[in-house]
Structure 1
Amino acid sequence: MNKFGWIIYNGNLPGNKFLDYAEMLHEAAAKQNSHTKIIKNNDLLSEFNTLGLHLISDMELPDYVIFTDKDIYLARQLELLGIPVYNNSIVIETSDDKIATYQILAQHKLPIPKTIVAPKVFYQREDKTLPNLHSIVNTLDFPLIIKEAFGSFGEQVYIIHTMEELESKVSELYGRPFMFQEFVSTSYGKDLRLQVVGNEVVAAMKRTAKDDFRANITAGGTMEKYEPSIKAKEIAIQAAKAIGADFCGVDLLFGEDGEYIICEINSNAHIRNLYECTGINAADAIVKHILAQL
């Protein structure tokens, strides 16, 4: 029996890259004889009361959902209604929170930058209580990285060179969750993106920036097809498994002596750039993996 699926994307975000990702998955599903419907997250309303949970929708409920958004509450509502969701809400929530991601990777003793979490602050106020910045610098040295827990496309990542810059940025971010990290100088302006699906890396590319420590394509980086080493593949797969992802993009930094360091895991990694760079459509592998799980 052929399976019917929903592909959910965020209907509130500008541009068409989010719809494009959904359409790539929709086309991949059709090739594998699975009919899917593309749905905006804002077209589904979650309702619950003393009688249970419901969706305010006239649509037939699917056999599975591919969730390309970060609407965790909607993903969880679908799961509680008994619908398999890929990736599930816990994976999406963990991946979206970089601090939570690094904690789990550290628990699994996987290679990550040395990290210090900024203490929780509940609200903005005139009199700011900053963490012990000298202790942080003594541990990480300059330059160091400040990275917000929530952010995309490298936009919430900052390189800090002096105590004055550090004090200014920490004061600016006061009230938001963020962390301090050692700067991996051996990977300045370059990294690897490996697309993991199930137990394999299906495609990879190297990203390089000319004038930025970040290699994100949206920040002006260029991309080239890359054949990762066995070690790089193993680390990427282990990272995906650590957070429970069925599929994800794993970004690796180049460490010293051929080592690799996990920079980020994206449970909703867009695959268009990867396809244009490598000629490999990761959507085919993602849908095949999901249907096999079902």
Structure 2
Amino acid sequence: MNTYGWIIYNGNLPGEKFLDFAEMLQDSASKHHSKTSIIKNNELLASLSSKDAALLSVYELPDYVVFTDKDIYLAKQLELLGIPVFNSSRVIEISDDKIATYQLLAMASLPIPQTIVAPKVFYHRSEKQLPNLDAIVHQLGLPMIVKESFGSFGEQVYLVHSIEELEQKVMELYGRPFMFQEFISSSEGKDLRLQVVGEKVVAAMKRTASNDFRANVTAGGKMEAYVPDAKAEQVAIAAAKAIGADFCGVDLLFGSNGSYIVCEINSNAHIRNLLDCTGVNAADAIMEYIISKVNNEGTR
């Protein structure tokens, strides 16, 4: 059955990285005889009234949407119109919020760094009430990770070595959601990225950094193709399932004794680096999965 889909990306961000991801998906969709339109999120306006939820758009409504952005309200609006969205607005919301992600991973009994969530502060004020930092250090040790709940490319992740550094960082982040985490020293400067589609790992790479505790390629890390063992695949697939993702990039840390620890889940992980590194175009697996699911469950 021929289908028509939208591929939505963020129209407000600079550079071609986000458009490139959308074009990779579009090329793969065409291989499966599905016509698609690439649309910026700011070309679609959600309209709400006491009568209905609608969409102001010049485009024909699609059979499905591949959502590569974090515009959760727009994704939800499309779902209210009865359009299947991949990943769903709920998955995007959870993945974008690292605290919410860790809560679901913990409830699924999956391996994560020991984490303490900073108390919520609703507004910034000159008089700051800090949590008991001594108790946090006693629980997690030093050095430790301080991680903001919202952020990308490793830019909102900090390694602190002393109680003084910790206090300074907490003061800097006051008013933002963040957490304290155990530092996994066995994975310093290295991790794994596994691309999960459905219940399969379709490609993986190892990332390493020589001068940073983070292994993100954007932060200067190097990448190499990697063949994960069954244990790594099992953890990555279970992590994707825990947040309900149809597809995602799962970052694993190297634990002790050959174990793996879930670091993060990205519901719209870019796949260009993965293709360059491994030769595997994850867009093919993503679009095959989506189009098959839409055809099996029926289009609008």
* TM-score category (smaller protein): over 0.9
Q: What is the distance in 2 between the residues matched to 1:263 and 1:248? A: 13
- Matched to 1:182, the amino acid is E
- Whether 2:109 is the aligned partner of 1:109: answer yes
Residue aligned with 1:38, SS = strand
Map 1:1-294 onto structure 2 (within 5 A).
1-294=1-294
The C-alpha deviation readout for 1:90-144, integer Å capped at 9, x for no partner, is 0000000000000000000000000000000011111100000000000000000
Residue aligned with 1:69, SS = coil
The C-alpha deviation readout for 1:135-193, integer Å capped at 9, x for no partner, is 00000000000000000000000000001100000000000000000000000000000
Q: What is the distance in 2 between the residues matched to 1:136 and 1:81? A: 46
CA drift of 1:58 comes to 2.3
- Matched to 2:38, the amino acid is I
Number of residue pairs the alignment of both structures matches: 294
Question: After TM superposition, which residue ranges in structure 1, 4 or more long, deviate above 6 angstroms?
Answer: none
Among the aligned pairs, what percent are the same residue?
A: 71
CA drift of 1:59 comes to 1.3
Q: What is the distance in 2 between the residues matched to 1:48 and 1:201? A: 39
Residue aligned with 2:253, SS = strand
TM-score with structure 1 length normalisation? 1.00
Which consecutive residues of structure 1, in runs of 5 or more, have no partner in the other structure? none
The C-alpha deviation readout for 1:49-88, integer Å capped at 9, x for no partner, is 0110110112110000000000000000000000000000
CA drift of 1:18 comes to 0.3
CA drift of 1:39 comes to 0.0
- Matched to 2:246, the amino acid is D
Which consecutive residues of structure 2, in runs of 5 or more, have no partner in the other structure? 295-300
The C-alpha deviation readout for 1:176-211, integer Å capped at 9, x for no partner, is 000000000000000000000001000000000000
Residue aligned with 2:65, SS = strand
The C-alpha deviation readout for 1:199-256, integer Å capped at 9, x for no partner, is 1000000000000000000000000000000000000000000000000000000000
Residue aligned with 1:192, SS = strand
TM-score with structure 2 length normalisation? 0.98
- Matched to 1:51, the amino acid is K
The CA RMSD measured in Å over matched residues stands at 0.4
Q: What is the distance in 1 between the residues matched to 2:269 and 2:63? A: 23
Structure 1 equivalent of residue 298 of structure 2:
none
Q: What is the distance in 1 between the residues matched to 2:187 and 2:277? A: 21
Residue aligned with 2:196, SS = strand
- Matched to 2:267, the amino acid is S
Q: What is the distance in 2 between the residues matched to 1:145 and 1:199? A: 30
Q: What is the distance in 2 between the residues matched to 1:245 and 1:154? A: 21
Q: What is the distance in 2 between the residues matched to 1:206 and 1:162? A: 30
Q: What is the distance in 2 between the residues matched to 1:130 and 1:124? A: 12
Residue aligned with 1:61, SS = coil
Q: What is the distance in 2 between the residues matched to 1:58 and 1:182? A: 49
Q: What is the distance in 2 between the residues matched to 1:16 and 1:47? A: 29
Q: What is the distance in 2 between the residues matched to 1:14 and 1:77? A: 25
